[in-house]
Amino acid sequence: MKSIWKSLMVGLILVTCLTSTVFAAETEYDMSAAGDGSVIATFEDTTGVLTISGSGTMKNFSNSNSPIRSILGSVKELIIEDGVQNIGDYAFGDNYTYGRKSLTGLTNGSIVIPNSVTSIGKYAFYYGYSITSIEIPNSVTSIGDYAFYECSKLSSAKLSSSLGSIGAYTFYNCTTLPSIQIPDSVTAIGNDAFNGCAKLTSVEMPSSLTSIGANAFYNCKVLSSIEIPDGVTSIGDKAFY
């Protein structure tokens, strides 16, 4: 009798393990511009790891049609593998203020962009509240407007040395960002680019810079000094208000 019960218990444990394995399945989402699976997002629901892989171009999404939109709030770690050629519009961004999820639950808030990426789209990491650091390789030549809008825990940002400009609202309300070194390649800082960066104490501006947009450093309360290069010919309204 004991032998029968032991066999039943072993069988129950095996069934339980198999069931758990089934429910731990990965989910794949096609993120490619061509819809051919050349860029895939793979989400592991038990670990919360979202991996972007492939060797193609990512689609530019709107605020409502990204295929991974519904799981963004459950992502604990984001891995972007080498081979992915760009980060599309709204790829990981969503407006959390209106009840939608963005990257709000990262336990590892460091985002590393691989050298294969040449552009980061607008709103790419919009409302990425739990992003703590971002490293953008020198292969990236453009970053879209609002790319890191309201990434309020961002404390470190390394920019590409090939970047031509910093767009409008790129780092808007990144309230914990303490300093930024603007690469020698940058010629323009867009409107409201660093508006609301309340802990920004240091900004290094390159000699290549020619324009600073309106409200660019608005409400940067602890920015005590700044050296504007001789090549700057225009500074927008309330740039340092």
Rounded Cα distance, 22 and 35, in Å: 27
Rounded Cα distance, 82 and 194, in Å: 29
Q: What is the pTM of this model?
A: 0.87
Rounded Cα distance, 27 and 20, in Å: 15
Map tokens 């603007």 to a residue: 182
Length of the chain: 241
Rg (CA), the chain: 22
Rounded Cα distance, 21 and 90, in Å: 32
- From first to last of its 241 residues, the chain has per-residue pLDDT tens of 545 545 544 454 444 444 444 455 799 999 999 999 999 999 999 999 999 999 999 999 988 789 999 899 999 999 999 999 999 999 999 866 665 668 999 999 999 999 999 999 999 999 999 999 999 999 999 999 999 999 999 999 999 999 999 999 999 999 999 999 999 999 999 999 999 999 999 999 999 999 999 999 999 999 988 999 999 999 999 999 9
